[in-house]
Structure 1
Amino acid sequence: MNGKILNFGEILLRICPDLSQDWVGAGALPFFVGGAELNVASALATWGLPSAYLSAMPQNDITLGILEHLKGRKVDLDHMLLQGNRLGLYYLPKGKDVKHAGVIYDRADSAFANLSRSDMDWPSIFKGVSWFHFSAICPAISQEMADICLDAVKEAKRQNIFVSLDLNYRSKLWKYGKQPIEVMPDLAVYSDLIMGNVWAAQQMLGTSLVPELKEVKESYARGVLEEQAKKTSLELVSRFEKCKFVANTFRFDYLEKGIQYFTTLFGEEQLLISEEYRAEEILDKVGSGDCFMAGLIYGLYQEIGMRDTLEFATAAAFDKLFIASDATESSVAGIQKRIKR
């Protein structure tokens, strides 16, 4: 491939109050610019690929500063829509006793959430594009956004553009009367690469799940996970004719053992399983899955082979766990040093 890789999604500010301290009295809140698709776009630009990003944000001094920062990271923003009244935010507390606190969203009525189908001239937007990436976070926002995504992937098919879909599931966003299973299959029909995990695929695309994996546990037998990955992959490529590749991530957080991480990639009628990575402590979980997605795009775009693609993507995702930001800052060379041989 030699065209642009266009990433479409909502640009967000992540705000991180530290609950172990008097963050109110300190008068300071760490923040990061992110959003799942922007994290992918930033990684690809850092790794030297022609990465573009499309979102919507209001035009003011704050957002112009964000735009300049992203341009400095070599992200193509030619189609960024400067309109609307606010930028979406989300809060992710850190510090003591926040394991189950979860994300707090403040993104209703954002510039991106208020986009309409008439705002999007997909035939023009796709000029010079050979890869289109989006995630399930977009159609979770509203029916209008789901329709925008469907318009996009249909036009991508007409122009023979490769489409990748990340099955990010955000239960707090699906609030407009539709369940993911009612929306996502229509989008998966147009996807060449579907990435997520076996539980997200079951919930969003209706794939089957073995009984052992229907129960929430701290750990599962490795063989069961690998067999499920193969089963899910075969179901998806059989059901969705355009789907050529299926990738799954497996990350488990053990209180005593730390992090266990491995992934799979199905394509060309075979399932590949990555090396396994472990760590006792990490710095930041946010963006690891996005970095894995970016690694898959990096390898498949350059046709370096499925095995090398999988190992690069897995090492990139694991490496991201030790970076305190939404997007990776590691170079290709730095990630390659992390790859287990």
Structure 2
Amino acid sequence: MSSISSKEYKQGAVLSFGELLLRLSPDDGGQWLDDNALSVFVGGAELNVASALSLWGVPSQYFTALPKNGLSAQVTDYVDRLGIDTTKAHYGGNRIGLYFLTKGKDLKHDALIYDRANSAFAELVPGRIDWDKVLDGITWFHFSAICPAVSQQTADVCLEVLQAASAKGITISLDLNYRSKLWQYGKQPQEVMTMLAPYCDVIMGNIWAAETMLGIPVSGNIHESGQKSLYLKEALSTSERITQLFPKCKVVANTFRFDGSGGIDYYAALYMDGEFYSSQEYRAESIVSKVGSGDCFMAGLIYGFYNGQTPQQTLAFATAAAYNKLFVHSDATTNTVKDITNTINHG
């Protein structure tokens, strides 16, 4: 048994670390200008994880950096009402980060515009935070590759907190979120992420993110047949390589979401203790939003391990949770454990 499955988490909380963002969602026709109204969502990859865990009954804490003003107070109150403990948030700096995403569009191309420069989180520097205090009572620490993509100093802060969490024996999970519009400060993702991955016990993403961020090559002809068996074989190879390169890592998860004219296919795989598991495959002709689906999958992994589920049960829960999120407008899921269990049973 690995430390992931045998460790007792019930005595501690899960801390999600990352930048809180406001998502502004104009429609692609410009009607928002005539209506003088713009949809706003409170988001950020790690906050989406924290929200799901709180909804599912896991003690959930959140570390971010915000300016000390009335807007931050309103946002923090909103997050608190989700059942997330925000008392460890750092207050300083001048602004909250924003991003614009055109309604109904993916996190790609011109539909996504970041406005995060000089945000309170982006201005964090090493040596400013008492990590022993922040990590008190925490048994699981989660972050994503979006954090070190913001700037060199945020990457340095990530390294600092990972070292502190690792020294305390806290389980650390990483989502290999790749955002091509970030990573603009002169470093390639591999240069940074290969310095952070050695501290992680759980790494989640997909085979292409592992190639971009960890330098693990993907077979060049994998798309020729589109066969699920070949994708899963590649996931196994990537997972084995990750655990070889980063021996602290005990669990690797890979998600697969394929969008086509006929709808969306979604499935996932999990590698743990030398065993490889695959999920059932879900298919939908249309969805509501792709935002936060991967975050929901990550939350599902944490939920499963936190509650002592088997690897196959954990994978099933995470996959169903991520699939269900495709039908939710907001950044974070609103589906309960019962909703997700029903999907597993009737998927």
Q: In the TM superposition, what are the counterparts of 1:231-310 in structure 2 within 5 Å?
A: 231-255=237-261, 257-310=262-315
Deviation at 1:143, TM superposition (A): 1.0
Which residue does the alignment assign to 1:113? Answer: 122
Q: What are structure 1's unaligned runs of at least 5 residues?
A: none
In the alignment, the residues of structure 1 paired with residue 277 and residue 335 of structure 2 have an alpha-carbon distance, to the nearest angstrom, of 25
Correspondence 1:15 to 2:24: yes
The superposition leaves residues 239-274 of structure 1 with CA deviations (integer Å, 9 ceiling, x where unpaired) of 11100000001001112x111000001002111000
Amino acid at match of 2:285: E
Q: Amino acid of the residue matched to residue 134 of structure 1?
A: F
Deviation at 1:221, TM superposition (A): 1.7
Residue correspondence of structure 1 range 149-228 to structure 2 within 5 A: 149-213=158-222, 220-228=226-234
- Tell me which residue corresponds to 2:33: 24
3-state SS of paired residue (1:236)? helix
The C-alpha deviation readout for 1:60-112, integer Å capped at 9, x for no partner, is 22221111111111101111112111100000012699974331001100010
TM-score, normalised to structure 1, is 0.96
What is the match of residue 134 of structure 1?
143
Contact 2:300/2:318 (<8 A) preserved: yes
Is the 2:193–2:213 contact (alpha carbons within 8 Å) kept by the matching residues of 1? yes
Match of 2:327 among 319, 322, 326: 322
1:339 aligns with 2:344: yes
Deviation at 1:330, TM superposition (A): 1.1
Asked if residue 146 in structure 1 is aligned to residue 152 in structure 2, the reply is no
Instruction: Judge conservation of contact 1:164–1:194 (CA < 8 Å) in 2.
Output: yes
Once the two structures are superposed, residues 172-198 of structure 1 have per-residue CA deviations (whole angstroms, 9 ceiling, x without a partner) of 110111001101011110100000000
Distance (whole Å) between structure 1 residues aligned to residue 173 and residue 236 of structure 2 = 19
User: RMSD value over aligned CA atoms?
Assistant: 1.6
Structure 1 counterpart SS, 2:199: coil
| Inter-partner Cα distance in structure 2 for 1:97 and 1:267 | 31
Contact 1:39 1:291 in 2 (8 A): yes
Q: Could you tell me which amino acid in structure 2 is paired with residue 283 of structure 1?
A: V
Residues 1:312 and 2:321 aligned together: no
CA contact (8 A) 2:107 2:291 kept: no
Partner of 1:123: 132
Instruction: Say if 1:73 and 1:236 are closer, same or farther in 2 by CA, change over 3 A.
Output: same
The aligned amino acid for 2:42 is V
**Partner Cα distance (1:173, 1:278) in 2:** 31
Q: How many percent of aligned residue pairs carry the same amino acid?
A: 51
Is the CA contact 2:52–2:299 (under 8 Å) kept in the aligned structure 1? yes
Cα separation, 2, equivalents of 1:328 and 1:158: 32
TM-score (norm 2): 0.94
| Cα shift at 1:20 | 2.9
Q: Which runs of 4+ in 1 moved over 2 A?
A: 94-102
Report the secondary structure of 1:247's partner residue.
Answer: strand
Cα offset for 1:291?
0.1
For residues 176 and 99 of structure 1, what CA distance do their matches in structure 2 show? Answer: 20
- How many residue pairs align between the two structures? 337
> Which residue of 67, 70, 80 maps to 2:76?
67
Matching residue of 2:94: 85
Distance across 1 between alignment mates of 2:301 and 2:315: 7
Distance 1:312 1:98, change over 3 A: closer
Cα distance change on mapping 1:99 and 1:150 into 2, 3 Å: closer
